[in-house]
Amino acid sequence: MFCAFLMLPMGNDNREVGWRLEEERGEAVRRLGSPPEWPWSLTLDALGYGRTGGRKIPPNFRQFNEKRQAMLTSGFAVLEEDDWAYEMRKFWPMGEAAAMRRLEEWLKDAAWGCYFPPGLHPRDEAGGRFRADKAWTAMLSPYIRFGDLSARYVEWRTCQVLSQELRQLFLKRVVWRDKAYSQLYRCPDSHSVSIRPQYEQEAWSGTRLQLRRWQRGETGYPLVDAAMRQLWKVGWMCNHLRHVTAQFLIEHLDLSWKEGFAWYDYTLVDTDVAINAMMWQMGGHSGIGSWNFVMHPIYAGKKVDPEGNYVRRWLPELRNLPTEYIHCPWEAPTGTRISAQVLINGVYWQRVIEWFEPMACCVAGKRATPLEIYAKSLPDDADAFPALFPMYTVSSDILLSMTKIEPHEKLKARGQLVAFTDDLGRAAFVSHQWLAKQHPDPHFRQMSILQTALKRILSTRGFLPLDFVTEALVRTAKPVPTQDFQEQPLFFWYDYFSCPQLEHRFFNSDEVDSLQQASAIKSIPAYVSKCRFFLALCPVIECPNENKVGLKKARSR
């Protein structure tokens, strides 16, 4: 379908090829005449559409509402309030002419530069296509879905108007449509069954009440609620907000992607089972690919709706709040909320979850956890930690060349371990889960993830984003520049090859074991204080005892 969509440099050698591709596009978009006879179809009234406030909707349709039906019959109905599709019809002009008009309007905006990624345009740091408060996305999906526009015509017209730099990002998303169809063809049950079968056994802790509040836009998080109410009113939201709301459902409420798929399929005017299934499976980490990021509902709001105009449009109960509190109304002083006529759990909803608050053990009056008791027992001065055993590490080159994890004694015998000191460079402490009783990673699954991440960190310039818990709880935390890992030689501490493991097999002596392995374990606080970086390996793993996916919160990001 998109044979013409090849991102090639159009230099002297490619001019003839480029001309032929343009000719092919011209042939592909010829206007077709009407068929000699239209196929038979039910009328809108028979389908239960048309007037959606309850009138002429069969009682077995979900849109039917007995109260609205009675109000319409008696003539007391107010369309803006009693017709749930009123905003939808107002928002979407229908037909081919309207679709063509919308395409041309968007091409003008795109030529100006509205559809650009973050940091690549001087007029907007958030990235134009991410902005919730601007009409800077194409909004063509319903027209393509119902055939008012063909994908080939959109591609042809885009290539006519926009330069390679401006059109590449948009056309990539058009091509994703075909990718979704290909996936559905090969995985016909992907709309209801996880492509990665182990995820079918995953236990979800979210409740039906939380699902209902997400569906209604009553989570207590303004950006999520505004997006979900826009979805219900007009049957659409921009792609970035679909990511935000989907991740809130899966990552924060811990509800299955299938619940989100069903609701989107019911409410989107551009719903497409192939695209819907592909994206929700990616969000649920069970698809062929998966999202490797998590969006914070508060900081995402400040990024895509910096002035709060989008929230005020869809959540009028918050319209009087100052901009600094529009995405976190619970943080506003009581006097500010009263003057803005915002009462939490009165006018606006109490948050469905409060994970973004300080942890319970840090709140006065709460019983301290064992970890907190241990932390308080440690000295404040890092130099007070005694190093009872040398801090053995491996260099980044050795770590990247590993194909299996071998114990301390074998690496030391080969001369691959280095007793780390500050003049050698920087150290990283690697924390991980043991996947077997005698070996931390027998199939090299966790370490391979670390190797992949490390290769990217050492070969690219940029920043490592913060996880959402750190963002929420540590306000002063900032993303880590990858340059910090590249400036000096890097060494890694990993317990299995940094601490003695096999001496009891050779000496059969508890005394020898206690003098070396125990000393190394007691030295861990000293090792941590020496390390510039602390890395936690949290990949998706299978529990060896229960044959199911491990702790859900241990997903890799």
DSSP conformation class of 248: I
Contact partners, residue 517, CB within 8 Å, separation at least 6 = 499, 500, 501, 503
Q: CA separation (Å) from 396 to 58, 502, 509, 557?
A: 67, 24, 34, 22
φ, ψ of residue 319 to 5 degrees: the values are -65, -25
Query: Contact 325/336 with Cβ under 8 angstroms?
Result: yes
Distance separating alpha carbons of residues 163 and 172, to the nearest angstrom: 14
Distance, CA of 269 to CA of 143 (rounded, Å): 10
Exposure string over 274-300, b if 16+ CB within 10 A, otherwise e: bbbbbbbbbbbbbbeeebeebbbbbbb
The reply, when asked if residue 270 is annotated as ligand binding, is yes
Residue 7 annotated as binding?
no
The answer to the question of whether 402 is labelled as a binding residue is no
Q: Is 170 annotated as a binding residue?
A: yes
**Residue 43 annotated as lining a ligand binding site:** no
Positive or negative torsion for Cα 247, 248, 252, 255: negative
Q: Is 452 annotated as a binding residue?
A: no
Interatomic CA distance for residues 549 and 547, integer angstroms: 7
**Is 205 annotated to bind ligand?**
no
Find tokens 């559905």 and name the residue.
184
Q: Is 527 annotated as a binding residue?
A: no
Give the chain's end-to-end CA distance (angstroms, integer). 34
User: Rounded to whole angstroms, how far apart are CA atoms 61 and 59?
Assistant: 5
**Residue that is written with structure tokens 């501490």 in the block:** 493
Which residues are documented as binding site for FAD? 115, 137-141, 170, 270-272
Which residues are documented as binding site? 115, 137-141, 170, 270-272
